[in-house]
Amino acid sequence: MLKIMKQSIFKIKENIALTDSIFKMVLLGDTSDLRTGQFVNIKLDGFFLRRPISVCDVDKKSLTIIYKIVGEGTEQMSKMTAGEKLDLLTGLGNGYDLTLAGKKNLLVGGGVGIPPLYKLAKDLKGNCTVVLGFNTATEIFYEDEFKALGANVIITTIDGTKGVKGLATDVLKDIDYDYFFACGPEPMLKAVYEQTKTSGQLSFEERMGCGFGACMGCTCKTITGYKRICVEGPVLVKEELVW
Amino acid sequence: MVNAKADAGVYKNTKTRVKTDAVKLGKKTNSKLNTKVILCGVQLDNPIIPASGTFGYGYEFAEFYDINCLGSLSFKGTTREARFGNPTPRIAECESGMINAIGLQNPGIDAVINAELPKLREVFSKPIMANISGFSVEEYAYIAERLDEEEQVEWLEVNISCPNVRGGGMVFGTDSKAAVKVTKAIKAVTTKPVIVKLSPNVTDITEIAKAVEGAGADGVSLINTLIGMRIDLNTKQPIIANTMGGFSGPAVFPIALRMVYQVYEAVKIPIVGIGGVSRAEDVIEMMLAGATAVQIGTANLINPFASKEIVENLLNIMEKYKIKDLKEIIGGAH
């Protein structure tokens, strides 16, 4: 499997708010050798550890990340402006294995787990059903972007302010699919694991030290052995999970 | 072992550029600067050694750069059985540092000998420092004995200072009598130099250093991490699942330097300096305090190229501070 980590400087092209706490940042730099579902690890001035963030979209010159303000680091990121530079490690993690995809693919995303599914939907040429789960209508982002790819998009909100009331996993039983991809908070992933009847791939999140396999900070147990979320993950196939 | 004619590596374009491939090949150069040091009778091309737990078993870093530019490397602390380690989260960020509570995750000595070391040998031709840990004196001795047959392993670094496991590691490093027992048991079964890795979580580190020297240790390495913790303001609970962990990074450098300085005055055996070393200047400071070789730890996790960049920059810094031969500055601050 292609695995090329690079350290390079990216320039911010834009950094805009999608909701109150979710931001989209487009970065210009070396985007060669990136795989869908991988992440980047970002060095921020004044912070010791890098911030691992999944890649939402990639083209020849730029990559897009969508991140939520969850602490002081991401808050500082949200205040950065076009033209500022960031030190990134790119090409991290295994990414999705598209050779395993089915004919009728289901993508399930929750909150900031949604971004990496966008490039995946693009790779699938929009030929997929996408379930996007949010807490409430004001937190919804990228609905139109997924629709523009031609995907069949289903929105769920926990409070019912838009789309189907409930969790993303509540609508799965009514969808016809033969393979799935999921990314979101761990309780959502566990519900997807329990409620899906086909094989699929799930993308995980964990606190990381390095992001490239050296510190062993993000290890999890699988039936095929211990795996580092940052190297053997973040994408794990359903059959190897211990749940 | 090493070509006696080989000099410290090429130093071209004297202001800024260092030709690293010559450094790693140890070719004779036009440079008069010497980075070679001798650690417990074994020569290193330079004193830079990635620290255990920050470099895996080395071969994965070989995907990023040619790791033969390094003096040596100390591999991930290895126990008799495979270990998963502690639950996650295992990592917490700090000002100028981080806390880890990995808990000695490693594949066990059999897998290290049969799978990890062969992979490392393919990409690394320098002497290897084998970091070993255990939960009993017998376990330490068993692993030491197993590694005695591994030719490329030139030193055993005995971790009696892991703060992240119960009933092992640091239990042996905070009690002189236990440290002596482990050291003696290992010395009895190995022909390789034994370097005992010391804990800073003691009142007087020189006491343990003197004890292991008396027990036959060939060297000491210090410091392991300092016990620390962080609390998440949102959950009001410790960030680390194991509550506490080992604090490392640039913030601990002055403490590590002080301890190296103290231990240098207390023992005659060589010292490997560890703790927050992040740049070539820090390496020089560590050596002036008394270190014969210097390990780079947490810096590798922030910048995967850190050890390589420190090796490359070492010659610049030597020239800047008019140091011709690194081994001559060891303990120079005393």
Cβ of A210 and B302 within 8 Å? Answer: yes
Fold adopted by A98-203: Rossmann fold (3.40.50)
The answer to whether residue B94 is catalytic is no
pLDDT 10s digit of each residue in chain A, 243 long? 446 899 999 999 999 999 999 999 999 999 998 999 999 999 999 999 999 999 999 999 999 999 999 999 999 999 999 999 999 999 999 999 999 999 999 999 999 999 999 999 999 999 999 999 999 999 999 999 999 999 999 999 999 999 999 999 999 999 999 999 999 999 999 999 999 999 999 999 999 999 999 999 999 999 989 999 999 999 999 999 998
Burial of B180 (0-12, 13-18, 19+ CB in 10 A): buried
Q: Please judge whether A49 and B54 are an interchain contact, meaning their C-beta atoms are less than 8 angstroms apart.
A: no
B248: domain range?
A: 45-313
Chain B CB contacts of A215 below 8 Å: 53-54, 91, 100, 102, 301
Per-residue pLDDT reduced to its tens digit, B60-116: 999 899 999 999 999 999 999 999 999 999 999 999 999 999 999 999 999 999 999
Residue B19 lies in a domain: no
Contacts of A47 in chain B (CB under 8 A): 93
Q: Report pLDDT digits (tens) over B245-264.
A: 999 999 999 999 999 999 99
What pLDDT does residue B162 have? 83
Lowest mean pLDDT of A46-55, B30-39, B321-330, name the range: B30-39
Give the pair of three-digit tokens for residue B244.
């506490």
How far away is chain B from the Cα of A145, in angstroms, using its nearest Cα?
33
Q: Do B304 and A89 touch (CB under 8 A)?
A: yes
ipTM over 0.85: yes
**What is the chain B residue with the closest CA to A206?**
B89
- Residue B122 has a pLDDT of 96
Give B127-159 pLDDT, tens digit per residue.
999 999 999 999 999 999 999 999 999 999 999
Non-local CB neighbours of A182 within 8 Å, separated by 6+ positions = A107, A108, A109, A113, A188, A189, A192, A200, A201, A202, A203
Question: String of b and e for B50-60 (b: at least 16 CB within 10 Å)?
Answer: bbbbbbbbbbb
Give the pLDDT confidence of B301-312 residue by residue, as tens digits.
999 999 999 999
The whole-number pLDDT of residue A133 equals: 97
**CB under 8 A, 24+ apart: contacts of A173-178:** A175/A106, A175/A129, A175/A131, A176/A104, A177/A102, A177/A104, A177/A105, A177/A106, A177/A129, A178/A102, A178/A103, A178/A104, A178/A105
Residues from chain A contacting residue B55 (CB–CB below 8 Å): 214
C-alpha span between B251 and B170 (Å, rounded): 21
Which residue in chain A is spatially nearest to B105 when comparing CA positions? Answer: A216
Tell me: pLDDT of B19 over 60: no
Chain B residues closer than 8 Å to A231 by CB: 60
CB B156 within 8 A of CB B132: yes
Note the pLDDT of residue B173. 87
* pLDDT for position B36: 98
Distance of CA B137 to the CA centre of its chain: 22
Rounding to the nearest 10 degrees, give the CA dihedral for residues B291, B61, A212, B49. Answer: 0
CATH 3.40.50.80 domain extents, chain A: 98-203
What is the predicted pLDDT for the residue at A3? Answer: 64
B61 or B3: which leads in pLDDT: B61
Residue A7 to residue B97, Cβ atoms within 8 A: no
Those residues of chain A whose CB sits closer than 8 Å to some CB in chain B are 3, 5, 7, 43, 47-50, 89, 206-210, 212-221, 226, 231
- What's the pLDDT band for B37 if we cut at 50, 70, 90? very high
Residue A211: closest C-alpha in chain B: B301
Mean pLDDT of chain B: 91
Closest CA to B56 of B93, B106, B99, B96: B106
Query: Do the domain assignments include residue B322?
Result: no
Q: Is residue B229 part of a domain?
A: yes
A209 vs B96, B100, B239: nearest CB: B100
Question: Amino acid identity of A172?
Answer: L
- For tokens 């300096």, the residue is B273
Question: What are the backbone dihedrals phi and psi of residue B120, each rounded to the nearest 5 degrees, phi first?
Answer: -65, -40
State the nearest Cα–Cα gap between A5 and chain B, in angstroms. 7
- What is the assigned CATH class of domain A6-92? mainly beta
Instruction: Please tell me what DSSP assigns to residue B121.
Output: H
pLDDT over 50 (residue B43): yes
Neighboring chain B residues of A43 at a CB cutoff of 8 Å: 302
**Which residue ranges does chain A devote to CATH 2.40.30.10?**
6-92
- Domain count within chain B: 1
| CATH code for the domain in which residue B119 is found | 3.20.20.70
Give the pLDDT confidence score for residue B23 in this predicted structure.
Answer: 46
B10 domain-assigned = no
Cβ atoms of residues B199 and B179 within 8 Å: no
For tokens 């050296």, name the residue. Answer: A214
**Does some domain include residue B330?**
no
Confidence class of residue B272 from pLDDT cuts 50, 70 and 90? very high
Residue B23 inside a domain? The answer is no
Contact (CB<8Å) A216/B76: yes
Query: Active site residue: B40, B69, B94, B162, which one?
Result: B162
B29 within a domain of the structure (yes/no):
no
- Give the separation between CA B114 and CA B122, rounded to whole angstroms: 13
What residues form DSSP beta bridges with B245? Answer: B228
